[in-house]
Chain A
Amino acid sequence: MSSERNKHGVTFADRALLVSLVLLTAYCFVFTKKAMPQGSEVKIEVSGTLLYTLPLSHDRTVTVQGPMGATIVEIHAGKVRVKASPCHNRICVHQGWIDSGAVVCLPNRVLVTITTPGRQGEFDGITG
């Protein structure tokens, strides 16, 4: 019997293989976590200042103050919308629920965007 082999029949090479597999598993875990999309976030900015970064997965309603008054932003069931706005034509409210992209209220300077780290949409930009 070889001197490398102990009483359970485990060689140095077996141990090396075991260690390398453990390392590989740990690496895959870290790499997958880094590479795969994490939860989507809702960012709410007013006049260029980021006021909230909220998970899209948690339902809640937030009120922010713009130059014209209060804009109410609602997150529900993985979507977000501007529920109420003091602006004149309320384009932001009429846009309704979105699950990607942005809702903008130019008059009240409110920008609501959905970002999903690691997720690349079909388009890098939209013209029109």
Chain B
Amino acid sequence: MKIVIYRALVLILLLCYSSCTHGGEKVFKKSRLAMDTVVTLTVVSSAEQDAEAAINKAFAEIDRLSKLLDHFSKDSEVTLINRSAGLKPVSVSKETFEVIGKALYVSEKTFGAFDITVGPLMDLWDFREESLPDSAVLKEKLSLVGYRGIILNAAKRTVLLKRKGMAIDLGGIAKGYIADKVVEVLKSNGIKAGIAAMAGDIKAFGRRPDGKPWRIGIKNPRPAGKENGDDIIAAVDLTDTAISTAGDYERYFIKNNVRYHHILDPKTGYPANECRSVSIITADGVYTDGFDNGIFVLGPKRGREVLGKLGLDGIIVDSAGNITFTDAMKGKLELREK
């Protein structure tokens, strides 16, 4: 009897010990306003101090990169490039050079549907005041749009915009690029798993403490109920992958029953109208962010062709609300009944 009780005692203590040591890893999350949006960093760590230190370094990297790439900032490298348009090449950091180079790759692959030289067109649209641009002015500015007018010199690491008045706007690609860089910073600070979410541009790495992949919800572009509620149309599980969504509901106004939103067709200067939202999934955030805009502008049919050719995963909600997705998404995507 005594032996049985001793054994029970040892078993209880062992159970307690194993419970204490198991599950030491936790999820730590911090949100902050940056790049004119909400940035949320999630990390898995066994120590809060380590998690916080890594998150703080990642936020410092976001601040550093957004200062280079923000075209609204008076002294960013992008502003300097725009100011020097038609005049002289501008020496830039390797990050600015890299993101512009990748933007040009996306432009090529989307036949110019994604184009960072839409800056002069974007300046004409005021979504806050809900005003349409003057059509004559818009037509005139169209002549300044064209990614082939960006001249990169890799040897000197310079950027030149060919014509005076040209302007680049990295708003359609910078957040995804920064998400990639943030993950690099988190990894170099000992974090094995986490998520860098620059609003809807998300890069996930590693797995949750329970061993499962990270679960990401895709917003319904026409949410039921609350206008800004997180109504989800689909869920997808990710690890070591990025996802971005471009939607016609982020910045928009409705006039005479027409929805005017911020995703402009670089060829017309007006909002592209064949999709409500496009989500892209691939390894790099810089490409999910760039291609979601490009495919949105191309529309569902041509968009799916491009995705198929490049081997990218995508979920497209067309202007009628129909959801289609690439073949590789079958079985990975969990659609929600509406």
Contact = CB atoms under 8 A, between A and B. Distances in A.
Given A48-B33, A91-B228, 5 more contacts: A11-B2, A20-B12, A94-B228, A101-B230, A122-B215
Contacts of A109: 33
A41 to B, nearest CB: 13
Interface residues on A, range: 35 or more
A9 interface: no
A124 B193 CA distance: 12
Contacts of B230: 101, 126
Interface in B14-71: 16, 19, 27, 29, 31-34, 36-38, 40, 42
Interface stretch (B83-91, B111-119, B241-249): B241-249
B200 A127 contact: yes
A7 interface: no
A111 interface: yes
B38 A102 contact: yes
B202 interface: yes
Contact of A127 (B6, B9, B38, B279): B279
A128 B219 contact: yes
A88 B130 CA distance: 12
B9 A20 contact: yes
A122 B217 contact: yes
Interface residues on B, range: 35 or more
B235 interface: yes
Interface string A43-79: 0010110000000000000000000000000000000
Contact of B12 (A23, A47, A102, A123): A23
Nearest to B253: A89
Contact of B32 (A23, A111, A120, A124): A111
A120 B38 contact: no
A95 B228 contact: yes
B312 to A, nearest CB: 15
Interface string B213-249: 0111111110000111110100100000001110100
B204 A102 contact: no
A102 B31 contact: yes
A27 B16 contact: yes
B195 interface: yes
A11 B3 CA distance: 13
B319 to A, nearest CB: 16
Contact of A125 (B8, B19, B214): B214
B5 A16 contact: yes
